[in-house]
Amino acid sequence: MKTGRILQGIGGFYTVLSEGESHTCKLRGKFRRQQVTPTVGDYVEFLPGASGDEGSIERVLERKNLLLRPPVANLDLFLVTMAAASPEPDLLLTDRLLVSAAQSGIEALVLINKVDLQMGAGALRLQYELSGYEVFELSAKERLGIEALLRRIAGLTVGFAGQSAVGKSSLINALNPLLSLETGDLSRIQRGRHTTRRAQVLPLSGGGFLVDTPGFSLLELETRDPVELAKCYKEFAPYEGKCKFLSCSHTKEPGCAVLEAAREGLLSPERMERYALLYQEEREKWGKRYG
């Protein structure tokens, strides 16, 4: 029996890395009966196959965390990526990804790529720095900020996710040029060509692993009580218990400490507007959950 890590899963076959060697494995039938589905990033116990044969995954080890959308296990950091321009940043999608990370208990960073195309990235940076996130301004093309990011993620397992065509594959190639991932240009309607079709674990040149995930045009959050949404906004934490009403949603109530902080410029008003949209969306989904 060996222990390894799932790098990729395709059509019921899993690539498992163990002691520097890759093994192709299938699931034992008991997993289907137990409704257990291994995912990229999982540590597993497996029996390697004979030369040219598939091995078998015997057990999925306990996870540190699990990100549901995209499905990835055992991350140390989640890198939520946007472009400064081309395509125009989808900040609501960025916020959804940050909420998804928070729901899974995973620390997140914000990456702004393509700053060589749009030097006004400071306003984007300010929104997320006011929200308590580390922000890196990058250009894969010019290698701006790449060394600083490499130092930050060295030795860690990090996940990449973001809007389609923000240049994730180009960033990954900059972080480890030996990978030479396929990259794609924007289409005429600015949606981009998906160059990553499934999650996959890749080595980092400074040590550690990087999990590349497909680009998104839409992300549905897991349906939860909308009251829980505020707990996924780290910038709200200093104001907890200071609102006039204990059940404050931080969207419109009088005496809301969070809204007052936004009015005073201590929080990003743009991010507050998007929070209100997500709150209303989650409230509607929660109300329809038994429908």
CB 102 within 8 A of CB 186: no
Q: What is the pLDDT of residue 52?
A: 73
Domain architecture of the chain: domains with CATH: 2-61 (2.40.50.140), 67-212 (3.40.50.300), 226-287 (1.10.40.50)
Q: Which residue has the tokens 């959950």?
A: 289
Q: Is 82 exposed, middle or buried (0-12, 13-18, 19+ CB in 10 A)?
A: buried
- pLDDT, one tens digit per residue, over 162-192 is 888 888 888 888 888 776 655 444 333 333 3
- pLDDT, one tens digit per residue, over 44-53 is 999 998 877 8
Task: State mean pLDDT over 230-242.
Answer: 96
Q: How does DSSP assign the chain, residue by residue?
A: -EEEEEEEEETTEEEEEETTEEEEEEE-HHHHHHT----TT-EEEEEPPSTTS-EEEEEEPPPS-EETTTTEES-SEEEEEEESSSSPP-HHHHHHHHHHHHHTT--EEEEEE-TTT-S-THHHHHHHHTTT--EEE-BTTTTBTHHHHHHHHTTSEEEEEEBTTS-HHHHHHHH-TTS--------TTS-------S-EEEE-TTSSEEEE---BS--PPPP--GGGGGGG-GGGGGGTT-SSSTT--SSS-TT-HHHHHHHTTSS-HHHHHHHHHHHHHHHHHHHTTT-
- pLDDT, one tens digit per residue, over 248-257 is 999 999 999 9
Mean pLDDT, all residues of the chain: 86
Q: How confident is the model at residue 235 (pLDDT cuts 50, 70, 90)?
A: very high
Give the Cα separation of 5 and 235 in Å (integer): 35
Give the Cα separation of 271 and 162 in Å (integer): 17
Could you give the angle at the alpha carbon of 106 between the alpha carbons of 31 and 243, nearest 5°?
125
Cα 148 to the center of its chain, rounded Å:
20
- pLDDT, one tens digit per residue, over 75-125 is 999 999 999 988 889 999 999 999 999 999 999 999 999 998 876 678 899
- pLDDT, one tens digit per residue, over 57-72 is 999 999 999 988 778 8
CB 152 within 8 A of CB 210: no
Q: What predicted TM-score, i.e. pTM, was given to this entire model? A: 0.86
Strand pairing report for 77-83 and 157-162: parallel
Cα 136 to the center of its chain, rounded Å:
15
Which one of 38-42, 211-215, 272-276 scores highest in mean pLDDT?
272-276
Q: What is the pLDDT of residue 188?
A: 30
